[in-house]
Amino acid sequence: MFDRPGPRVKPARRGYRLRKPIAAGLLPPCRAKYNLGVENRVIVILGCTASGKGALARSLARQWGAEIISLDSMKIYRGMDIGTAKPSGAARSAVPHHLIDVADPWQSFSAARFVELADQAVTESHARERPAIAVGGTMLYFKCWYEGLFEGPPAAPDFRAAIRRRAAREGLEVLHGELRSIDPEAADRIHHRDLRRVERALEVFHLTGQPISALQQQWDRAAVRRADWRWSLVAVGRSREDTNRRINLRVRRMVAEGLADEARRIWADPRGVGPQARQAVGYAELFEHFEGRLSLDDAVEQVKIHSRRLAKQQRTWLKRLGGLLWLDADEVEDTATLLPELTRLLAEGGPPDPGKTTSPQAI
């Protein structure tokens, strides 16, 4: 078995271009009667990268007349299409999608901003008498949205500036090693190239003298932030071997579809690439190739390695998250075929119980 682990308008404030509310006539046909089984419903489908969760969510959305909210910190960026495996234009026309293409690669985007826009999307979806289906693998965004934002100490600009200088001078691996010496649990969860999160973990220790992982224990026990919504949490599970196989196949397909050309257009944009977009797996490695630090073949191999590492981190998050309904997708090529089983799980699962989770072996 597997391991658990509309049209654009004028730019709004903070530089984000938001879409107008979806006109009713542009939506796919809805059920004639909206019943208590879907009223105020928010279904969350989580899983490791390349698990097939997106195809499954779109199949469910078509069946239920739902709208989709992307839980992906990189799909928010315009122009980053191939490397983030965005749904096609046809798929997005068939099912309304939110939180895709809401920022440019040179802009920053925070978890707080995600929570704000996701809340707005669910409210609009429910106002149209449609359930919302959130799908993706950015576990931090989901946790902030589901349980609330972690309240840590305020930022220390001087300390952050010093960390940035050290990162440029000594390299991210040195900073990540320093984090591991003071907070091994946080180091296991944070990618060594994720400067923003490494910086924050070091900053919290500097300001409080306590590891950020210890301070987050209270956050882990937090109640559901929006108890007025009917939540269902689903995890698409695959074995490590199956996940790694699918990752390798997907990277090869992305390269064949023109990932390198797409990454070069972003890298060459005179407006630059922001620190968040720059660390995106699939792009960061090619940026290093463009800057002469990696051959193209080595960059592609690094994309595979970092994607597998991301999947491992996602499994770690999922193991810690209670109340999950696990859907066994191991060696299933087309996850849309699992729609009947998913529908059964949603019908029988009830609201999430943080103290319980369905065992993969029991599915």
CA distance 53 to 61: 12
Q: What is the pLDDT of residues 84-108, one digit of tens each?
A: 999 999 999 999 999 999 999 999 8
Residues 6-65 pLDDT 10s: 333 333 333 433 344 444 334 444 443 344 345 799 999 999 999 999 999 999 999 999
**How many C-beta atoms lie closer than 10 Å to residue 261's C-beta?**
10
pLDDT in tens, 106-120: 998 988 899 999 999
For 13-148+222-362, CATH gives 3.40.50.300
| pLDDT above 60 (res 287) | yes
CATH code 1.10.287.1770 for 157-220 = no
DSSP secondary structure, 248-286, as one string: HHHHHHHHHTTHHHHHHHHHH-TT---HHHHT-TTTHHH
Interhelix angle 296-320/240-256, nearest 10 degrees = 140
CA distances to 82, 134, 214, 226, 322 from 222, in Å: 36, 20, 14, 12, 12
Phi/psi of residue 287, nearest 5 degrees: -60, -40
For the chain, give every domain's residue range: 13-148+222-362, 157-220
Given this model, what pLDDT does residue 78 score?
Answer: 98
Identify how many contiguous H helices and E strands the chain contains and give both numbers: 15, 6
Q: In angstroms, rounded to a whole number, what is the distance separating the alpha carbons of residues 253 and 255?
A: 5
For residue 276, give every residue at least 6 positions away whose Cβ sits within 8 Å of its Cβ, in sequence order, or none. Answer: 73, 108, 109, 196
Q: Residue 222: pLDDT band by 50, 70, 90 thresholds?
A: low
Of 48, 76, 70, the C-alpha closest to 58 is 70
Instruction: Compare 146 and 29 and report the one with higher pLDDT.
Output: 146
The string of pLDDT tens digits covering residues 246-284 is 999 999 999 999 999 999 999 999 999 998 899 999 999
DSSP state, residue 20: P
pLDDT of residue 358: 55
Contact at 8 Å (CB) between 131 and 64?
yes
Q: What is the mean pLDDT of residues 179-191?
A: 89
Q: Let me know: does 230 contact 351? Beta carbons within 8 Å.
A: yes
- State mean pLDDT over 166-174: 91
**Residue range 218-223: average pLDDT?**
56
Report residue 357's pLDDT band, with 50, 70 and 90 as the boundaries.
low
| Cβ neighbours of 281 (radius 10 Å) | 22
> Rounded to the nearest 10 degrees, what angle do helices 157-170 and 172-182 cross at?
120
Lowest mean pLDDT among 19-33, 116-130, 224-238, 327-341: 19-33
- For 96-100, 288-292, 316-320, 347-351, which range has the lowest pLDDT when averaged over its residues? 347-351
Q: How many CB atoms sit inside 10 A of residue 272's CB? A: 12
The Cα 319–Cα 326 span in angstroms is: 11
